[in-house]
Amino acid sequence: MAATNTSSSLAGLIVNEKRTEANFDSWKECLKNYLIGQGLLGVVTGEDVEPKRTDSNYKDWEKKNALALHAIQISCDEHTFSNLVMKEPTKVNSAKFVWNVLAERQSKVLRYPEEETSSILQHNDLYMAVENDDWTTVKWLLSLNPNDVRAKITMIGQTALHVAVSAGRLEIVKELVKLMSKEDLELKNNFGNTAFALAAMNGSTDMAMIMLKKNKDLVKIKNNYNSQIPVVTASLYSNREIVGFLLDKTPIEVLSPHENDKNGATLLNCLIADEIYDLALDLLKRYPRLAFIEDIHKNYTITLLANKHSAFLSGSKLGFWKRRIYSSIYVNCEENEMPSQEASDEENVYRPPRQDSSDKRIIIPQASSLRGLKLKHAKAKQLLRLIFKEMPRLSNAELKKIGLHQVIYDAIKCGLVEFIEELISCNPDIIWWADQKGRTLFSYAIILRQEKIFSLIYELRSKMHTIVIWRDVFNNNFLHLAAKLPPSSQLDRVPGAALQMQTELQWFKEIENMVPSKYKERVNENGETPSALFTKEHSKLVKEGESWIKSTVAQCMVVAILVATAIVTSTFQFPGGVDNSGFPLLSSYGPFLVFSISNALSLFSASTSVLIFLGILASRYAEEDFLESLPRKLIFGLSTLFFSTLTMMIAFGCSIFIFEQKKSSWLAIPLSILSFIPIAFFTYVLFPLLFRMVINKRKGYSFFDKSKEQLRVRKIA
């Protein structure tokens, strides 16, 4: 907190407020004036060129660069600069680079030339006729001025063909193409796009076919903005069908990997983003190097997959039954391959996978969609395998440029077990890789609380004993990392502060059982043992857990007391009345016997739950109590409360049945059934909490999947 306040006060000496979208212009002017006053503006604008390290004035430039960089850094929000560090770790030491990214926003707004108004007005009739799909008028106007077929008729330099394509006028496009030469089809508007490129943007496959028949080179013409070819343009607009068509018509060498040509990498990433994995897989098989070329958005394929939850089962949020259906479905990864070069134009149009109605395996309604999902997951794993097999060919500089450590961190944060499995399988030595903090992938699995990923450590057999004693640059061992509070995004996956505390204790105890005993008392650079660090980090969570339990118990206790009160009252008011001696008249009647037993069970359960809740309220709420004692008591309390409510409604239903059967027998059963509606609502509200607590408690017995050691036969050399 003190560091944050200091940073804010220093920023106040340079700018009025830290950088936001709302105050961007005033922020830039304030910072610019400060840099001018300090004689630092030349460094960020590039006027003061960085000299060679051997030059005498290098130290002076280095000092100015550091001062300018510091001024920009403290004038921005912490997250803004940290995100830039993650994206461009090798460039953020340059004040000029950081200034261009954070301050020179106006230069990124693209400006295009506009046509003269007088020239446009004389073609207004032609423009309106094309827009209104009036070919008769268009034909008449072009017969008067044949050269108008290639004239620019709008402010942004569009020809009649551009306008027809944008307006979706297929018949006019057909006729205009007949009147135009091959060269005319290559004319670009002021945005640098041909009419063919516009058809690719709009997903107009029919129009693209018409133009392509006349000029097959249209697929290779790049726009003037970022040198994109049409198939890449179509992929950026997620037009799946035309992407498949254009990809087949585009010479494959045009998409080959080049540092100065990002078409292939951009197309590959767009295919993956749109989950067209079959086409992406075919492209990557031809050019595996594309996965390590930066696309126009400065992304890499491996980065995209590391953040794509839906590409893997571990990132897909499937319920219990969906997972069971998913696991029983068979898929063939060779389905839906890219169309062959010899196929006709109609056959080359990509179409989403369709389920064959004759497939007898699909007998459950949801199984068809799950089968498609499993096929996507299988092909995504194939993509990963290709990428990771190519990775050993990269130099250390290339891996650093890609940001491999950040990629691994992102995959672990997203819980993508398949990603890490394939990475270790194809590159076994990756388990020893450590980032600048000296942390391995298993270190981050602990920090980010990803038990399924950490369970992969059991596959390493004897290597596991070396890895578990690993220490980072701050002298933290695995137990110290387990003692630290995880990021809130990971902690909030478990509902309720008490359950979060229980999960944290389970993690700590499991790692404690794994590391050698001598490491349990080792101190880090701050002189803290793992136990002391755990207590310090979780002190607030303990208080929140205590408050959460007390609040939950108090509410449940009110319900339990109400149930007990209702049952005690009904105990002295027997349905059907009593005789002169006070004995129930219907004591031998079957429903009355059920009523009596249910009453007794409900009273016993409600009283038990009240006593359990009282015991919870009187607990000491010590740190270790959240592991076993408090969860066990809460489970028993909630279970007895649920049982007491259930038996109370059974008693109530029996009472209604006894009363109504004598008056109207047809009403007795429906009214008795209706008495169970409150139970349904109570189950809907209470049962998820009870179920989660039971699952959490069972996790404590097998927190990590230790069966991997015995079940997996994959050998990591």
Half-sphere exposure in the Cβ direction for 432 (13 Å, CA): 8
Half-sphere exposure in the Cβ direction for 565 (13 Å, CA): 6
Tell me the per-residue pLDDT of 519-558, one tens digit each, with 9 for 90 and over.
889 999 999 999 999 999 999 999 999 999 999 899 889 9
Residue 360 has what DSSP assignment? T
What are φ and ψ of residue 76, in 5° steps?
Answer: -115, 160
How far does CA 526 lie from the centroid of its chain? 35
For the chain, which residues score pLDDT lower than 70?
A: 1-13, 105-119, 259, 333-366, 570-592, 656-673, 675-676, 696-717
How far does CA 467 lie from the centroid of its chain? 29
Which residues on adjacent β-strands are paired with residue 142?
Answer: none
**The predicted structure's pLDDT at residue 588:** 52
Q: CA-CA distance, 703 to 509, in Å (whole number)?
A: 10
Instruction: Tell me which residue has tokens 């059920």.
Output: 594
> Are 502 and 631 contacting, i.e. CB atoms less than 8 angstroms apart?
yes
Q: CA-CA distance, 486 to 662, in Å (whole number)?
A: 64
CATH 1.25.40.20 residue ranges for the chain: 111-218
**The predicted structure's pLDDT at residue 489:** 85
Q: CA-CA distance, 100 to 88, in Å (whole number)?
A: 13
**The predicted structure's pLDDT at residue 589:** 53
Q: What six digits make up the tokens of 472?
A: 């980072």
**The predicted structure's pLDDT at residue 337:** 47
Nearest to 461 by CA among 638, 692, 715: 715
**The predicted structure's pLDDT at residue 354:** 46
Residue 340 has what DSSP assignment? P
Q: Indicate the CATH number of 111-218 among 2.40.420.20, 3.20.20.70, 1.25.40.20, 1.10.10.10.
A: 1.25.40.20
Q: What six digits make up the tokens of 714?
A: 């994959």
- Write a three-state SS string for 15-80: CCCCCCCCCHHHHHHHHHHHHHHCCCHHHHHCCCCCCCCCCCCHHHHHHHHHHHHHHHHHCCCHHH
**The predicted structure's pLDDT at residue 717:** 35
**The predicted structure's pLDDT at residue 298:** 85
How far does CA 296 lie from the centroid of its chain? 21
**The predicted structure's pLDDT at residue 129:** 93
**The predicted structure's pLDDT at residue 187:** 93
Q: Residues 6 or more apart from 696 whose CB is under 8 A from it?
A: 494, 499, 502, 503, 506, 631
Q: Residues 6 or more apart from 134 whose CB is under 8 A from it?
A: none
> Are 268 and 387 contacting, i.e. CB atoms less than 8 angstroms apart?
no
Q: CA-CA distance, 203 to 448, in Å (whole number)?
A: 42
Instruction: Tell me which residue has tokens 């809460």.
Output: 634
Using only C-alpha atoms, what is the Rg of the chain? 35
pTM of the entire predicted model: 0.78
What are φ and ψ of residue 188, in 5° steps?
Answer: -115, 150
Q: CA-CA distance, 570 to 563, in Å (whole number)?
A: 11
Provide the b/e sequence for 76-112 (b: ≥16 CB within 10 Å).
beeebbeebeeebeeebebbbbbbbbbbeeeeeeeee
How far does CA 677 lie from the centroid of its chain? 38
**The predicted structure's pLDDT at residue 113:** 62
**The predicted structure's pLDDT at residue 340:** 41
What are φ and ψ of residue 319, in 5° steps?
Answer: -75, 180
Alpha-carbon dihedral 487, 323, 303, 704, rounded to 10 degrees: 50
Long-range contacts of 698-703 (CB under 8 A, 24+ apart): 699/503, 699/506, 700/502, 700/506, 700/509, 700/627, 700/628, 703/451, 703/506, 703/507, 703/510
**The predicted structure's pLDDT at residue 269:** 92
> Are 133 and 167 contacting, i.e. CB atoms less than 8 angstroms apart?
yes
Q: Residues 6 or more apart from 536 whose CB is under 8 A from it?
A: 528
